[in-house]
Structure 1
Amino acid sequence: MSNYPLSYKLSWLPRFLKPSLAGDVQGFAPMAGTMMDRAPRRTVRLAFVGDISAVANRRAPDCDPAIKTLLGASDLVIGNCESPVVDKPSAVLGTRLGTHHAMSEGFLGDALAAVGIARERLVLSLANNHVLDQGVAGFDETVAALARLGIRTIGLADKGPVQPVEVGPLTVGFAAFTLWRNAGEDLFAGRVSMTGDIARRRGDGFDLLCAVPHWDWEFRHFPRVETRTLARRLAGQGVGLIAGHHAHVVQPVERIGDTIVAYGLGDFLGTALVRQPWPGRIGGILVADISADAETRGSVVSYRMHPFVRLRAGDHERLAPVEGLEGRMRDKVERRLSAVFP
């Protein structure tokens, strides 16, 4: 079955109710930074969003125009498809309780339109612990549904550890993998990538190598030592940009040489229970500009984390930038962000 240790399972509910700020807080980078002394003439913009699910939404979210503009201006948006895309869930009880995820093709299409993400500019990772929540048939249906929608996917085992995506004049290699699974290894093997062994080789044809790992422990704002060690290994293998998922809360950014690591982007659309405590409603959009000039081709020029909050609005969520909040909620969110980002 799943590969979670017992201590992890026992801590899930307490950490869900009260996300933790414990851990090593040293060595992290600011929320935004510049990596090059001189700006290139031409750049490509990548935007990474967090986990996407319909668990907390019966219909498409409302989205603040600022967030919609930010995503619409990006050359490519990369996210994690946290729920199988099926017309009719097979795990009926688990889906009702929220332990098994599912969303319809119609919901996903409406949600993308609501937040300003064009399908042809979207890449979704299927390398996560929930991808087989509706069984093998649900996994196959998900792959087919995303293909019908014209959405490119990464993290599938049969496509190899790194998948190329053309972004303007650049070829970006995406390596998506999960360290966690909610079902047996026999079901994941051959379907979902579960390895972080993605060493870059000379002549591989990628201008930039990005990792999209489903790692770390949930509801902890600071990554574990093991996660940071893996990040250093990936950077040593030639990965220039890492955007992680699974924690369901925002986590810090680290600079390892010329590599930028965003350990956790939180949820983009709610993946947990509808009445989720407020720290878990903070998400982040990592925007990175990549050089397309011949001399610095594929180098990260600059990055910025754009935090936002998912607010309840009846049967769905409303995505709002932090500066659009008021009163006590804004104070709480800003204090939490200042604790996570130096």
Structure 2
Amino acid sequence: MSNYPLSYKLSWLPCFLKPSLGGDSSGFAAPAAVLMDPPPARAVRLAFVGDISAVANRIPPECDSAIAALLASADLVVGNCESPIVERPSAVLGTRLGTHHAMRERFLADALAAAGIARDKLVLSLANNHVLDQGVAGFDETVSALARLGIRSIGTAAGGPVQHLVIGPLTIGFAAFTLWRNAGEAVFGERVSMSGDPAQWSSEVGAGVDLLCAVPHWDWEFRHFPRPVTRALARQLAGHGVRLIAGHHAHVVQPVERIGDSLVAYGLGDFLGTALARQPWPGRIGSVLVVDISADAATRGTIAAYRMHFFMRLAAGGHERLVPVEALQGVVKRRVAARLDAIFQTGQI
């Protein structure tokens, strides 16, 4: 019922066990840049986090105060809700094995509180391959749970290809979509946005927005460098006016690319563990992408600065500790620094 090609399925386990550094590593940008100097007098700060799930976390995480402070500084936090929110999973065996995702409403609420993320400043995408893991009823329960928690959602078919959100003085259009599904095409497409071709969007989707942002669930998992077809789609999105792209699904950190005045962060890694509890260490590196958007009249909607802040998800007896890379020590710190340098090629991380 999924739409994954056979070559992808055959490569999943080898890449999970040893996340790949193969592929084209040319043409990427540094993970931090100031694009407007001097900075704008007024700005809106967006913070993008990766996939959120309870597959490897039955207990809410511990979050370093520096990460919580960073997230609290944002006017809006954007993430991917990788697990349906249900009280009683319908796919009981698959949920126990980790092939079907699920998390309880209380877990999500407690995890957000631990990370310093205010619910009224959070938007979660439901455009991912796991969102129907607990069936249609689980999808409906997820939508209801987010509404009950006061969390806005994007990426539903009902919301259309682009959903507008007012963030302070700016209106931002979010195009959240998934290229992958784990359920039948008809039942999935009726509920989840798979509108990844901007050429098919209405010409009116960008009307009235200061910035058009895409939140795609794309590329192949456990590969640090995006595939050529993924980079081609990024160029296509940029060509249709998308100025900011923050991707999910790879479950590992991927590099940043500048395409004209558009910024593409191909993969942020996981924010909370979405693979098995004994995930290899490269898959435990995550990032928070912080982007400042100008709200000044002359440069309204322009990206003023961006930076990826890296952290490590450390296993801690049934839950995880989110620790900034700078706070790591010893062998772990050296391994993580070497991996990040290989991805971003700065020699400075």
Question: Given the alignment of the two structures, is residue 193 of structure 1 paired with residue 193 of structure 2, yes or no?
Answer: yes
1:333 aligned residue (327, 333, 336): 336
Residues 322-341 of structure 1: per-residue CA shift (max 9 Å, x gap): 01100000000000000011
Deviations 1:52-94 (A, max 9, x none): 0001111100000000000001000000000000000000000
Instruction: Give the CA RMSD over aligned residues.
Output: 1.0
Cα shift at 1:197: 3.1
SS in 2 for 1:234: helix
One-letter amino acid matched to 1:341: F
Work out the CA distance in 2 between the residues paired with 1:271 and 1:242: 21
Cα deviation for residue 34 of structure 1 reads: 1.8
Residue 22 (str. 1) matches residue 25 (str. 2)? no
* Structure 1 residue 102 corresponds to structure 2 residue 102: yes
- Amino acid paired to 2:301: G
1:318 paired with 2:308, answer no
Match of 1:111 in 2: 111
Aligned AA for 1:74?
Answer: A
Q: Aligned residue for 1:128? A: 128
| 8 A Cα contact 1:50 1:267, kept in partner | yes
Q: Distance in 2 between matches of 1:202 and 1:77?
A: 22
Report the residue type matching 1:17 in the other structure: L
Question: Where does residue 302 of structure 2 map in the other structure?
Answer: 299
Instruction: Tell me the number of residue pairs that the alignment of Structure 1 and Structure 2 aligns.
Output: 342
The one-letter code sitting in structure 2 at the alignment partner of 1:133 is D
Which of the residues 226, 246, 265 maps onto 1:243?
Answer: 246
- Give structure 2 stretches of 5+ with no counterpart: none
Aligned ranges 1:149-298 → 2 under 5 Å: 149-198=149-198, 201=204, 204-298=207-301
Post-superposition shift, 1:38? 3.0
Q: Does 2:142 correspond to 1:139?
A: no
Which amino acid in structure 2 is aligned with residue 266 of structure 1? Answer: G
Give 1:190 shift.
Answer: 1.7
- Matched ranges for 1:30-45 at <5 A: 30-45=30-45
Q: Determine if contact 1:35/1:258 at 8 Å carries over to the other structure.
A: no
Alpha-carbon distance in 2 for matches of 1:159, 1:305 = 29
> 1:116 deviation in Å?
0.3
Task: State the secondary structure of the residue aligned to 1:308.
Answer: strand
> Structure 2: how far apart are the matches of 1:277 and 1:191?
33
| 1:262 Cα deviation from its structure 2 partner | 0.2
Q: Is the partner of 1:242 in helix, strand or coil? A: strand
Task: Check 1:5–1:324 CA distance in 2 against 1; reply closer, same or farther (3 A cut).
Answer: same
Q: Matched residues in 1 for 2:74 and 2:288: separation?
A: 11
AA of the residue aligned to 2:19: P
The AA in structure 2 aligned to 1:233 is Q
| 1:116 maps to amino acid | G
CA–CA separation in structure 2 for the residues paired with 1:255 and 1:10: 32
Q: Does the Cα contact within 8 Å between 1:17 and 1:277 map onto a contact in 2?
A: yes
Aligned to 1:8: 8
- Cα separation, 2, equivalents of 1:138 and 1:226: 32
What secondary structure does 1:330 align onto? helix
Per-residue deviation, residues 273-298 of structure 1 (Å, max 9, x unmatched): 00100000000100000000011000
Distance between the aligned counterparts of 1:308 and 1:341, measured in 2?
15
CA distance in 1 between partners of 2:242 and 2:29 (Å):
18
**1:203 shift after superposition:** 6.8
Quote the offset at 1:202 in angstroms. Answer: 8.7
Q: In structure 2, what is the equivalent of residue 78 of structure 1?
A: 78
Conserved in 2, the CA contact under 8 Å of 1:128 and 1:180? yes
Q: Distance in 1 between matches of 2:196 and 2:3?
A: 17
CA distance in 2, matches of 1:138, 1:108: 15
CA displacement at 1:184 relative to structure 2: 0.8
CA apart distance, 1:40: 1.1
Letter in 1 for 2:20: S
Q: Percent identity?
A: 74
Q: Tell me the secondary structure at the aligned position of residue 41 of structure 1.
A: coil
The answer to whether the aligner puts 1:55 opposite 2:58 as a matched pair is no
Residue 201 of structure 1 and its aligned partner are, at CA, apart by 4.7
TM-score (structure 1 length as normaliser): 0.99
